[in-house]
Amino acid sequence: MKVPITVDDHIEGDLNAPFTLVEYGDYECPFCEMVSPIIKRVQKHFGKQLTFVYRNFPQTEMHPYAEIAAEAAELAGSHGHFWEMHDLIYENQEALSLELLFELVEKLGLSRTDLKNTLENKTFEKKIRNDFNGGVRSGVNGTPTFFINDLRYNGSFEYDELISALNHTII
């Protein structure tokens, strides 16, 4: 992984944890949606031993709502609700639309106007582009792509496989 984890990343867990799992994801990618609950189980399994980082990698040529969903998640993150929005988007991915994003923003107690302004001004475009470009520099060419302790993970996204890969990572 070419781009180190910083405080600008979306992080769950302690940065000093012995295991780090970084995902480059796309909110409209069906495989990212499929792996989302598996990541939650992996996090529960490792507890404080795992840091999870999510980075945006919207593939806009295939997924027309991916970038606006990333903007909505970043907006929520600017109000301390990134992970809630992240989870809500994946839980409702089958219905992903502009209207759904407005509904989810309201559900989190945020303003529709703020989302409208964010989308019109592309407020978080630079952050999203930085995530995307860092992924490209790290060899990401599809989603989801994972890195375990800075090394690209090319195995299965199944729970047992991820647990095994993390357990066999040199700390």
pLDDT in tens, 75-90: 999 999 999 999 999 9
Express each pLDDT in 106-163 by its tens digit: 999 999 999 999 999 999 999 999 999 999 999 999 999 999 999 999 999 999 999 9
- List of domains in the chain: 10-167 (3.40.30.10)
Please report, for residues 2, 38, 86, 106, the alpha-carbon distance to residue 68 in angstroms, rounded to integers and kept in the order given: 26, 24, 12, 16
How many Å apart are CA 114 and CA 92, to the nearest integer? 21
The answer, yes or no, to whether the previous bond of 30 is cis (omega within 30 of 0) is no
Task: State the pLDDT at residue 140.
Answer: 98
What share of the chain in percent tops pLDDT 90?
96
Element (H, E) at 24: strand 19-25
Task: State the pLDDT at residue 3.
Answer: 95
> At 95, phi and psi to the nearest 5?
-110, 15
Planar angle of CA 99, 9, 6, nearest 5 degrees: 165
Q: Which amino acid is at 132?
A: F
Nearest Cα neighbor of 49 from 74, 13, 25 is: 13
CB 73 within 8 A of CB 108: no
Nearest Cα neighbor of 50 from 107, 6, 12, 97 is: 12
Mean pLDDT value across the chain: 96
pTM of the model: 0.95
pLDDT > 80? residue 171: no
Model confidence band, residue 12 (pLDDT cutoffs 50, 70, 90): very high
How many Å apart are CA 12 and CA 46, to the nearest integer? 12
